[in-house]
Amino acid sequence: MAAPDRGAKWLRLCALLLGLLPLVLLLGCTLEQYPQSAMHPRSDYAIWLQDLLEGLVFWVVLIFVLVEGALIVAVIRFRARPGMPDPKPVHGHTGLEIAWTIAPALILAAVAVPTVATVFKTQSKAPAGALQVEVIGHQWWWEFRYPEYQITTANELHVPVGRTVSVSLATADVIHSFWFPAMGGKRDVVPARTNHMWFTPNSTGEFPGQCAELCGISHANMRMKLFVRTPEEFDAWVVAQRAGPAEPDTLSTEARGKQVFMTAGCVACHTINGVSNGVLGPNLTHVGGRSTIAAALFDNTPHELGKWIADPPARKPGTSMLKLPMSPDQLADLVAYLTSLK
C-alpha cells in the first residue's frame, strides 16, 4: 500500500504549490515592471475601483475559507466507518432552509451595495473647473483636443496633477475603448454618441494606456501615453503647444524637409498649424516634442521616424498612412524637419 500513499502525497504537494503560484507571481508585480497594471491606482477613480476590488476579494476569500473549511471538517468527521449507522437525513429542516437562503442574500447584498455605489460614483458628472479634453478614437491612434487652450495633439495626453480631467469620448470610425489603467476603468468610445469619464491624477509620472476594445487589425498597436505634470510644467507645455510650428532657416536641411512635406503628399492627411490642413492623420505641429510616434508604438527618434515614414504598413498593419515615394535624401530631410517641430 506504500505506492498509492506516496502518489497521494505528491498530488497534495503539487496542488499546494500550484495554489501558491499566483501569490508568488503577484508578489513580483511592481509599477515599474508592469506600468500598465490596474493594481497601482494613481487617481481617485482608480482608487475607488481598487477599494471595491479589495472589498470583494475579502468577501470571496472569507466565503471560500468558511465553505471549504466546513467541507473538509464534514469529509473527515463524518466519513463512513465500519459499523456506523446511516446518517440522519436533514431534508425539510426549516432552520437550515432559512439559513442557506438568507446567508447568500446577505452576501449578495454585501457585494451589490458597494458595487452599485461605485458605478454611480464613476458615472457622475465631473466637478466644476475640470480640465476638458476631447478624445477622438481613430483606427489606430488617439486624437486629443483641449478646447480651453485650442490645442490639438495626438497619442500623448498631458494633464496637471491634482486637477480633475473631464474626458469626452468620440470616434471617427469604429468602437474603441479609452483606458489608462493607472487612472481608472475602461470606457468605450462608440460611434454616433459621446461618452464621458473623469479622473483626478494624484501623482506625477508617465503612464501607458491602450485601446481596450478590438477595433481591427492594429488594435494592439493603438496605444497612448499620459503625462501627469506639476501645474507649472503643464502650463509651460500649454504655452509651447499654443505657439506656431518651428520655421526652418532658409536653405537648411529642415527647409528642404518642409518642401518634401508640402509636395510628397503628407499635407493631404496631416495638419501643421499655418502650413497644412489635413485631418485624416495626427496633427504634427509639435510632433518633434513627442516622446513616441505611431500611437506610442515607437520611440520618437530620427531613426525610428525614418523607418516609420519609409514604410508605414510594414510597421503597423492596416494603417491608413501611405508609403509615399521619396528618395533617401528626401526622407532624411523630412525627418529633420519633423524632428525640428518641438
Under the binding rule (CB under 6 A), the answer on residue 333 touching ligand CUA is: no
Which SS3 state, helix, strand or coil, does residue 176 take?
Answer: strand
The three cell numbers locating residue 6: 506516496
Under the binding rule (CB under 6 A), the answer on residue 187 touching ligand CUA is: no
How many alpha carbons lie under 13 Å from residue 249 in its C-beta half-sphere? 2
- Please list every residue from 96 through 155 that binds ligand CUA, using CB under 6 A: 137, 140
Percent of the chain that is helix, strand, coil (3-state, to 5) = 45, 20, 40
Under the binding rule (CB under 6 A), the answer on residue 213 touching ligand CUA is: yes
Least separation, in Å, of the C-beta of 140 and ligand CUA?
6
Stretch that binds ligand CUA, among 51-59, 78-86, 97-105, 214-222 (CB under 6 A): 214-222
- Please identify, using beta-carbon distances, which residue of 212 and 335 lies nearer to ligand CUA: 212
Q: Which of 158, 176, 225, 256 binds ligand CUA (CB under 6 A)?
A: 176
Binding to ligand CUA by CB under 6 A, coded x per residue (else -) over 228-247, reads: --------------------
Under the binding rule (CB under 6 A), the answer on residue 181 touching ligand CUA is: no
Q: Concatenated DSSP letters for 221-244?
A: G-EEEEEEE-HHHHHHHHHHHHSP
Least separation, in Å, of the C-beta of 318 and ligand CUA?
11
Least separation, in Å, of the C-beta of 183 and ligand CUA?
17
Q: Which of 126, 215, 275, 321 binds ligand CUA (CB under 6 A)?
A: 215
Residues 6+ away with beta carbon under 8 Å from 68: none
- Please identify, using beta-carbon distances, which residue of 144 and 234 lies nearer to ligand CUA: 144
Under the binding rule (CB under 6 A), the answer on residue 254 touching ligand CUA is: no
- DSSP-derived secondary structure letter, 125: P
Stretch that binds ligand CUA, among 30-38, 63-71, 191-199, 213-221 (CB under 6 A): 213-221
Which SS3 state, helix, strand or coil, does residue 282 take?
Answer: coil
- Please identify, using beta-carbon distances, which residue of 213 and 254 lies nearer to ligand CUA: 213
- Rounded Cα–Cα distance for residues 69 and 134 (Å): 52
Catalogue the E-assigned strands of 247-289: 271-272, 276-277
Under the binding rule (CB under 6 A), the answer on residue 222 touching ligand CUA is: yes
Q: Concatenated DSSP letters for 66-93?
A: HHHHHHHHHHHHT---TTPPPPPP-TT-
Write the burial class of residue 149 (CB in 10 Å: 0-12 exposed, 13-18 middle, 19+ buried). middle
Q: How many residues in the shown chain lie near ligand CUA by CB under 6 A? A: 9
Least separation, in Å, of the C-beta of 324 and ligand CUA?
25
Q: Which of 158, 187, 219, 316 binds ligand CUA (CB under 6 A)?
A: 219
How many alpha carbons lie under 13 Å from residue 185 in its C-beta half-sphere? 16
* Amino acid in the structure at residue 288: G
Under the binding rule (CB under 6 A), the answer on residue 326 touching ligand CUA is: no
Least separation, in Å, of the C-beta of 220 and ligand CUA?
8
- Please identify, using beta-carbon distances, which residue of 140 and 337 lies nearer to ligand CUA: 140
- Rounded Cα–Cα distance for residues 31 and 29 (Å): 7
Q: Which residues of this chain interact with ligand CUA, rule CB under 6 A?
A: 137, 140, 176, 211, 213-215, 219, 222
